[in-house]
Structure 1
């Protein structure tokens, strides 16, 4: 299923920072080790008891991930 950044922004009431609000997203991920298609993945950076996904954002950018939800 494909979603658009503009729809996701509206659904989660987020602030957009970037260049392309009209980009499409084909997958979502919360695990930096299991990316499928980096260019069209929305990564949710979640901080848990044992891991903080915010620490992996730079590596994910290098892998081609362009879209993130961070808090």
Structure 2
């Protein structure tokens, strides 16, 4: 079994797509509340020690560039 600290999503884009979908459906809410909403949505879907806050920041940055 892999250590939690070394866990990396096999399909990073799938996780980012899930985050993008959550952000899109969240509407205009405070971005600081997004990580907890996303964590609830993906609870039980992924295992390991992932940094949701980092993924949210990346997705928000990508969306701002568009």
Q: Fold match, TM over 0.5?
A: no
TM-score class, shorter: 0.3 to 0.5
Task: State the TM-score, normalized to the length of structure 1.
Answer: 0.31
Which one has a larger percent strand, Structure 1 or Structure 2? Answer: 1
Task: State the TM-score, normalized to the length of structure 2.
Answer: 0.33
Using CA pairs under 8 Å that are at least 6 residues apart, name the structure with larger relative contact order, 1 or 2.
2
